[in-house]
Structure 1
Amino acid sequence: MAPRRCLSKVSLQDKTAVVTGANTGIGFEVAKDLARRGARVILACRNEARAEAARAEIVKDTGNENVMTSKLDLASLSSVREFAQRLKEEESRLDILVNNAGMFTEKSTTEDGFDMMLQVNHLGHFLLTNLLLDLLKKSAPSRVVNVSSEACNHGRINFEDINAEKSYDAFPAYAQSKLANVLFTRELSRRLEGTGVTTYAVHPGFVKTDIWRYIPGMYGWKFTLMKSIINICGTGVTTYAVHPGFVKTDIWRYIPGMYGWKFTLMKPNINICGTGVTTYAVHPGFVKTDIWRYIPGMYGWKFTLMKPMFRLMMAFAITPEQGAQTVIHCAVEEALSSESGLYYSDCDVKQPSQKATDDAVARQLWEMSESMTGLSSS
């Protein structure tokens, strides 16, 4: 079943839009669509070379020469401030701000001392949006679109350990940042009521984008067990995880320094009876014998289950162009001009989890985000 598409034909002539993370994936497709509608589009990206390549491709595809790039590294709050200052000095209006850039990665810390996913996915965009509010208000009616994820429904804002310093797991940290996107959208809408600036949180769908490039470094060895997932791009290249058996190789040279004393400990204990008879425990290797005849009835179905499951999952994964549709819908659809602070998926309003509609948590998160980004003292 194909996802719904944005059907609006509205022109964006004389409008200005900023799209973060626009050099690839959903952001690239959103920027290209807005440019095709005639908007002046600013690609806010960390990698300047990739941003320039994306700009050239968008100009070629749309014929719109009014596409610019500007460096923005959300992992650096100083970079966010520099980008916002530059934009306010160079642009007279801002009609659409699409906070799209996102990250799913292993534990790391930004130069500002915050969890990388929390800052890139939430804090950086929180600061950026607040710094650009005057320009957005001046250009009203204007819009802020925050790209979240269905993962928000599995998240929880851990105010006691917001940076996951006590314990860390990648998916809960990601889900927390995506829940923060929805709560930020909700509270921002409340604060902007009557200004003509509307806000939208978007779940783009399960999209095949570059965000998955971080996975190999985090779970690569586990993904080798999922043979079928490797072929999602139709390359025909498959991978295999192999247990070669218990083999005498150089890998064992590390053992003496690690556990040597434990291995030598057994030796004097063997001869405690003074018989001269010694005993040995042996692992013969991973050997094909009749002992395995019991496995099919016990676990066989589990070993075969993963392959069709992941093939099925990837069959439903959508392209970045399809995933961009709800973002575009929220950015341009005229019928949404009276809506604000809601959560959208498949080009329609959806009800997120109860945690994503808790106004008290949204306010608390706003105040903490203000403090963490330095807004409360500026």
Structure 2
Amino acid sequence: MYLLCTILAALFSFLVLKWMKRRNYCMDVKRLDGKTVLITGGNSGIGKETAVALALRGARVILACRDEDRARKAVREIKARSHNLNVLHMEVDLANMKSIREFSKTFLQKEKRLDILINNAGVPSVLNWTDDNFSMCFGVNHLGHFLLTNLLLPRLKESSPSRVITLTCSNYKYQRLDFQDLNYNLFPFFTYCRSKLANIYFTQELARMMEGKGVMAYAVHPGYVQSNWTCHYSFLFQLLMKVIMFMFYVSCEAGAQTVVHCAVADEVITNNGGYFCDCKPAKLQAFANDAGVAKKLWEASERLVKLA
């Protein structure tokens, strides 16, 4: 009897965990032949799975990565899995504004199209600093992608209709921006939350500014995913998180589905500037829907990256 109860309890727990981890998959079968996709941080995790999915649809996929060795390995894997040889990588360090400018200049010289830009790369809750003295989370997760997107906007407009998809996180709701200290770097988790909130405001303002110009923008929360973000932390923390992620987090393939959905589905067009989760529009906290704050952040970001 005890054994039977144990088995039933284990089965029930398994079914509950499976139900908690359920995710919608992108069902749109649109091809992307002749389209060019640029994915930052596409050498692992969600970025790599997104690259595979879009390469399978025939897209030319370019991985923008900092680590050349890992990028080359990822390119080989993506080609093998997608049977698409039109996959390559270009080097960029989103923690270095000079690197972003050089990358963008090279990209504009070499690439005649940019149909989908996926701002996927990001860093977790860390207290490091970028080469330009920005907090690592704000500098990479927001400012790096802000500068990159702006520098590539000419090609995005020329390739219209085009899309910019920026990955964010539902943790945005735990913090608000402080314009007296945008470069906040005191508590790692709060720093991360602010950078993810900035991603949402960036998407909203980009959509407003590009209205009528053929460039659409979407913010995506992929869910809590079994990616390799724990590599920034101690071995014991990594071990603990591997157990937790195995139990509660979804696979990278499942996490990539909403990104793919926003990249290909026609139905998202009516939600330009929107926030998506689980392949459908999601509701934001009221304070995250403030057009005034979004505009103010855009102007402050322009000054910080010297975009004028």
**Is this a same-fold pair by TM over 0.5?**
yes
The Cα of 1:159 is off from its aligned counterpart by 1.1
**Secondary structure, aligned partner of 1:137:** helix
**What is the alpha-carbon distance in structure 2 between the residues aligned to residue 132 and residue 325 of structure 1?**
25
**Secondary structure, aligned partner of 1:22:** coil
**Of 319, 322, 329, which aligns to 2:251?**
319
**What is the alpha-carbon distance in structure 2 between the residues aligned to residue 360 and residue 373 of structure 1?**
20
Which AA in structure 1 matches 2:285? Answer: S
Instruction: Show CA shifts across 1:186-240 (max 9, x none).
Output: 00000000011110000000111111222328xx5xx49xx8x3652xxxxxxxx
Residue 196 of structure 1 aligns with which residue?
Answer: 214
Which AA in structure 2 matches 1:140? Answer: S
Residue 164 of structure 1 aligns with which residue?
Answer: 184
**What is the alpha-carbon distance in structure 1 between the residues aligned to residue 198 and residue 156 of structure 2?**
21
**Of 329, 332, 345, which aligns to 2:261?**
329
Q: 1:211 to 1:156 in 2, by over 3 A?
A: same
Instruction: Show CA shifts across 1:72-118 (max 9, x none).
Output: 11000111111111110001110000000010142121111111111
Q: 1:231 to 1:65 in 2, by over 3 A?
A: closer
Residue 15 of structure 2 aligns with which residue?
Answer: none
Q: How does 1:362-377 map to 2 (within 5 A)?
A: 362-376=294-308
Indicate conservation of the 8 Å contact 1:93/1:135, yes or no.
yes
**Secondary structure, aligned partner of 1:160:** coil
Larger Rg: 1
**Secondary structure, aligned partner of 2:219:** strand
Indicate conservation of the 8 Å contact 1:105/1:215, yes or no.
no
Does 2:262 match 1:346?
Answer: no
The Cα of 1:338 is off from its aligned counterpart by 3.4
Instruction: Show CA shifts across 1:130-154 (max 9, x none).
Output: 0011100100010000000011111
Indicate conservation of the 8 Å contact 2:64/2:92, yes or no.
yes
* Ranges in structure 2 where 5+ consecutive residues have no aligned partner: 1-18
Residue 97 of structure 2 aligns with which residue?
Answer: 77
Length-normalised TM-score, structure 2: 0.90
Does 2:192 match 1:174?
Answer: yes
**Secondary structure, aligned partner of 1:54:** helix
**Secondary structure, aligned partner of 1:44:** strand
**What is the alpha-carbon distance in structure 2 between the residues aligned to residue 74 and residue 355 of structure 1?**
28
The Cα of 1:339 is off from its aligned counterpart by 2.7
Does 2:231 match 1:213?
Answer: yes
Which AA in structure 2 matches 1:154? Answer: Y
Residue 42 of structure 2 aligns with which residue?
Answer: 22
Does 2:68 match 1:48?
Answer: yes
**What is the alpha-carbon distance in structure 1 between the residues aligned to residue 46 and residue 232 of structure 2?**
16
Indicate conservation of the 8 Å contact 2:271/2:281, yes or no.
no
Indicate conservation of the 8 Å contact 2:230/2:241, yes or no.
no
**What is the alpha-carbon distance in structure 2 between the residues aligned to residue 21 and residue 123 of structure 1?**
15
**What is the alpha-carbon distance in structure 2 between the residues aligned to residue 66 and residue 106 of structure 1?**
35
Instruction: Show CA shifts across 1:286-341 (max 9, x none).
Output: xxxxxxxxxxxxxxxxxxxxxxxx5xx75221011100000110011122233310
Residue-pair matches, total: 288
Indicate conservation of the 8 Å contact 2:173/2:193, yes or no.
yes
Residue 269 of structure 1 aligns with which residue?
Answer: none
Residue 202 of structure 2 aligns with which residue?
Answer: 184
Q: 1:48 to 1:231 in 2, by over 3 A?
A: closer
Indicate conservation of the 8 Å contact 1:41/1:67, yes or no.
yes
**Secondary structure, aligned partner of 1:161:** coil
Indicate conservation of the 8 Å contact 1:155/1:178, yes or no.
no
Q: How does 1:1-378 map to 2 (within 5 A)?
A: 1=19, 2-164=22-184, 168-216=186-234, 223=237, 229=240, 232=243, 314-376=246-308
Which AA in structure 2 matches 1:208? Answer: Q
Supply the RMSD in Å over aligned alpha carbons: 1.5
